[in-house]
Structure 1
């Protein structure tokens, strides 16, 4: 709260002039003291008076669609290294805006010494579609793909897009995310291109993953699974998945028959990656995102305002 200016008109003009030189012209207090033939202590007092009386009002503006306050709260609340919350409430689906924000974050934090891992999901697809440039790093495929009628980009496409932006090598493989039997999965993991990518998992320093709720329409893996698999995961307490890694409400990995039939990174391997960014959108996924945050696998989260507000509320 400002206090009324106590001086007369001459003092007011002098205070405003000094404040202008300091805040708008970027002059130092020594330079201002020389110009107005004042002591540095007098200049400092006038600057303080200008702020206290409201002659100078400082506002911190945030460019773009990032909600800085919610992002900071989310980061503090869950002990995250990175948290980005976008204002995307005017859109029918915030996927594109959340994906673009994740692309901006990745462009900022990836450095030439990194190895980037990408797991398949719609959200990660939105990120790679928005990715224009990246430090020159290797890009590693972390999971196979799901064949769904409305899904156009495979895991290979996502890795190739990111590798083009980075100008680095791409380690990819053509395989589904889920196969019919555990034996088939074991055999496929030995195929040269899959084994080549899997051998790079230990080197991955930054990864980007999607988060799904174990419910109809909230996880592509749930929707692609058989009814028997869905019931078994439900019975074992599975409530969410992080790009194929099944977890319960507390974030503890759930090992079901479906787990052994996955072609992708394991819970232990994902937890070993130093920096894992989750992308999530849709308020219905809030319980899944909470579980993912409790898992200890995520160091960062990119989401939108209504989901972030739900995460920070009761529950």
Structure 2
């Protein structure tokens, strides 16, 4: 029974029953096999299936400072989050937060979910640390944006995640920002682009980046001309998630730049039940706070420094 096989309800129940006896009741594989009339090899296969399909999730809990756990609980309560993880401040915050985000994502995603990912430096850092996922499909939520800081495309990010999950993928090759609205409309008519963006409607868990509308804080900001930057700012936008702009209250903002991007729509974003983001830079807090106010994200991974800043917000 391989990862590519489709399990029927009876097989899933058998895997769950064997896993319950082995992991929760502490029975040996030999005893389980004898009592259920199975071979030991069959019991071992069912335990593997239980792990691969997400029926069983194994977690290794490293010692964590009590202060960090308390910070996470306070941020979760203050902002009404589904989940929050805080990592201690360190000399490598991007990598530490990426690892913690990968761990949290693996526990947020269940076998019935659909995972979505746009282009983002924080998503790239998280996928670099990703080691396991249930068998779910992965959907590309935006086109790619080349930078001189990160050598990765959205397609590469989604492909890596989908290889780990083994549940298929929806990908397309297109830039994130097009020169004008007509060019963007033409790209959206491409079948692969149209299919992937339509599949965004099925996404139940997304890992995203939150960018502030300022130089160096949003890749889109640096990719458009000054007139476009001024238009977005004049419309009240203070940040963006996958090229979806929002204002100080977290309300969606539509501009002509919105019609030039190849990405999911704002309405598709707000309909995703679980949206995870990470933050290790204080400079992103001015955009993160409105995103939290508007409920655009509801799961966070933060450094202790950023967590304390969020708790200080009136």
TM bin, normalised by shorter chain, reads 0.7 to 0.9
Q: Residue in 2 aligned with 1:5?
A: none
Match in the other structure for 1:27: none
Aligned to 2:130: 131
Partner secondary structure for residue 288 of structure 2 = helix
SS in 2 for 1:200: helix
- Which residue number corresponds to residue 90 of structure 1? 90
1:63 corresponding residue in structure 2:
63
How far apart in 2 are the matches of 1:64 and 1:186? 49
Extract unaligned runs of 5+ from structure 2. 1-60
What's 2:243 paired with? 244
CA, structure 1 residues 167+62, in 2 after alignment: closer, same or farther (shift >3 Å)? closer
Deviation at 1:161, TM superposition (A): 0.8
Q: Distance in 2 between matches of 1:264 and 1:126?
A: 20
Matches within 5 A, 1:137-286: 137-286=136-285
Name the CA distance, whole Å, in 1 between partners of 2:118 and 2:77. Answer: 26
User: Once the two structures are superposed, what CA deviation does each residue of 1:103-157 show, in whole Å capped at 9, x if it has no partner?
Assistant: 0001112111110001110000000000011101000000111122222111001
How much does 1:281 deviate?
Answer: 2.2
SS at match of 2:253: coil
Deviation digits for residues 198-255 of structure 1 (CA, Å, limit 9, x no counterpart): 1211111101110011111111111112111111111111111112111111111111
The TM-score normalised by the length of structure 2 is 0.78
How far apart, in 1, do the equivalents of 2:277 and 2:154 lie? 16
Which runs of no fewer than 5 residues in structure 1 stay unpaired?
Answer: 1-60
Q: TM-score, normalised by structure 1?
A: 0.77
Residue in 1 that maps onto 2:79: 78
Q: Secondary structure at the match of 2:227?
A: helix
**Per-residue deviation at 1:302?**
1.3
Residues 137 and 298 (structure 1 numbering): CA distance in 2 closer, same or farther, change over 3 Å? same
Find runs of 4+ consecutive structure 1 residues off by over 4 angstroms: none
Following the alignment from structure 1 to structure 2, what is the Cα–Cα distance between the partners of residues 123 and 115? 20
SS of structure 2 residue aligned to 1:140: strand
Matches of 1:121 and 1:241 in 2, distance apart?
11
What do residues 46-72 of structure 1 show as CA deviations (whole Å, max 9, x unaligned)?
xxxxxxxxxxxxxxx972479211111
Preserved CA contact (<8 Å) 1:65 1:86: no
- CA distance in 2: counterparts of 1:97 and 1:182, whole angstroms: 39
Kept in 2, the 8 Å contact 1:62–1:68? The answer is: no
Cα distance in structure 2, aligned partners of 1:274 and 1:314: 25
**Counterparts of residues 19-30 of structure 1 (less than 5 Å):** none
SS at match of 1:257: coil
> What is the DSSP-based 3-state SS (H/G/I as helix, E as strand, rest coil) of the residue aligned with 2:295?
coil
Q: How many equivalent pairs are there?
A: 253
CA-atom RMSD in angstroms: 1.5
| Structure 1 CA distance for aligned equivalents of residues 225 and 94 of structure 2 | 27
